[in-house]
Chains A and B, each alone.
Chain A
Amino acid sequence: MASGEFEGQTGVPNALAHDLNALPAYTQRVDQTSASGGAGIYAAWQSVASGASDLTLLVGGEKMTHKTTGEATDVIASLTHPVEYKHGVTLPSFAGLTARKYLDEYDAPRESLGKVAVKNHRNGTDNPHAQFRKEVDLETVLESPVVADPLRLYDFCPITDGSAGLVFCPESVAQEYTDDYVVVSGVGGATDTHVVHEREDPTTMGGVVESSNVAYEMADRGPEDVDVAELHDMFTILEFLQSEDLGFFEKGEGWKAVEEGVTDRDGDLPINTSGGLKSKGHPLGASGVAQAYEIYQQLLGDAGARQVDATVGLACNVGGFGNCVTTTILEQP
């Protein structure tokens, strides 16, 4: 989380442990910008897998909406390199740069990006925890104000207050408390260039490729085994890039999957059944945790109207513009 930057409040894990009567439990803050939640999953998993802890509480949260859009955008953009920051670059402008390149390179229609927003808003209407529980039509998306050309307002996630929590423990400990648990079968993290323009292919997120390779190998799974996925759709274009870089679709083909309904709730590979960051909202530190929570609900059959048929789920949490990424694979026991 970035509570220091947003609220001038640091040491939050200490405060939480005290408030929850969890003293003297050890606490730590995990900072990996927008991927802090996923990085928290990695850290919590490590704490249990190493034997250092037999019960770890992971809480992700952020309070952002008291800032103006410009101020919040600047806090987030402060992760950029000085040669990027001085030009006034923002994360949304990286999305605009990448979207233009993607549409040009793969001859994809602008409308396909809009359809990601339409799909995720539709999913969000059935999520009681979503910030927006409101459908949008394609025309509204395509005619909304330009934010970073060719991307418009509805191509972007909102600024959000929110939190999410997960408990990690060995499976034997989980069984003492409940039958309703899922297993972390694979988790991986990776880092890409700090300077975004130094990437060889602007339409590939190397951190997604590398982190998912680690997670797939640990889980002894491949992209074809995944039944449902939560991707980091901070911007609509990111859902295309991740769906390709995770190996679900060939490079340059992710847009076709959305056009053909493959990633719809009743499609072969439902993506962002929660509504995604697009509709659920993006409280930075909470998002990666909330992604895993949606997969948890899907695997337990607790997703209500959003329920799909799934035994293996994947969550991909992206920090910066792909600068740091974690991929987590969750399965039914």
Chain B
Amino acid sequence: MTDDAPSFDAHRCENGHVTYPGHTRCPDCGAEQTETVDLSDRTGTVVTWTTSTATPPGVREPNHLAIVEFTVDGESVRALGQLTTADGVDIGDDVEPVYAAELREPGAGIREPDSQAWDGFRFEPA
């Protein structure tokens, strides 16, 4: 990846605990989170997944979703994200993050469009 490619940042405190997303204080130990770890070029494992067919305004239908676990220097960190496909996906499978500029249509739902980011990473079966 080039330097200006979007990153998929997990956050790490001085005691090595890693979370996604970041928090004001580490949920494990209360220390400040001082660095980021890019997950975008790592392989994760599917913890569980679903296909949602009753989706809110501005969300693709069906919407395949997974909770994926990464290991960073021996520490586990999980992220929820859309799957590019649910075909053949099962618990324990390897997946890789793929960047998407817009995961759902900003402003179509109840949340204020300017209040948050709408890009992010989907998971593609490896």
Contacts and interface: CB of A to CB of B under 8 A. Distances in A.
Interface of A: 5, 69-71, 73-75, 77-78, 81-90, 92-93, 96-98, 100-101, 104, 145-151, 193, 195-198, 202
Contacts of A97: 48-50, 65-67, 80
Contacts, number: 130
A87 B103 contact: yes
B124 to A, nearest CB: 14
Contact of B54 (A85, A104, A147, A197): A147
Contact of A87 (B54, B57, B65, B91): B65
Contact of A70 (B19, B55, B86, B116): B55
Contacts of A193: 27
7 contacts: A71-B56, A77-B109, A83-B79, A83-B120, A92-B54, A101-B48, A197-B67
A196 B54 CA distance: 20
Interface string B91-112: 1000000000001100001110
B50 A100 contact: yes
Given A70-B56, A83-B21, A97-B67, A146 B111 contact: no
A93 B50 contact: yes
Contacts of B54: 69-70, 73, 90, 92, 147-148
Given A148-B53, A197-B79, A78 B117 contact: no
Contact of B52 (A69, A101, A147): A147
Given A71-B57, A78-B111, A100-B91, A85 B116 contact: yes
Nearest to B60: A88
Given A92-B54, A97-B67, A75 B49 contact: no
Contact of B51 (A78, A87, A145, A149): A149
9 interchain residue pairs of minimum CB distance: A96-B50, A88-B59, A74-B56, A82-B116, A101-B48, A93-B52, A149-B51, A197-B78, A197-B80
A86 B116 contact: yes
B25 to A, nearest CB: 13
A202 B69 CA distance: 12
A198 B19 contact: yes
A197 B53 CA distance: 20
Contact of B103 (A70, A88, A92, A101): A88
B27 A198 contact: yes
Classify chain B: how many residues form its interface, as a range.
35 or more
A101 B47 contact: yes
Given A83-B80, A85-B116, A87-B81, A146 B91 contact: no
Contact of A92 (B27, B52, B57, B109): B52
A90 B52 contact: yes
Interface string B23-58: 000010000000000000000000111111111111
Contacts of A151: 50
Contacts of A89: 52, 65, 80
A87 B79 CA distance: 11
B33 to A, nearest CB: 13
Contact of B63 (A78, A88, A146): A88
Nearest to A104: B91
Contact of A202 (B47, B59, B111, B119): B47
A151 B49 CA distance: 12
Given A73-B54, A78-B111, A101-B91, 14 more contacts: A70-B57, A74-B56, A82-B115, A83-B79, A85-B111, A86-B119, A87-B81, A88-B52, A88-B103, A90-B52, A90-B55, A96-B65, A100-B49, A104-B91
A86 B52 contact: no
Most buried by B among A88, A147, A195: A88
Most buried by A among B21, B52, B57, B110: B52
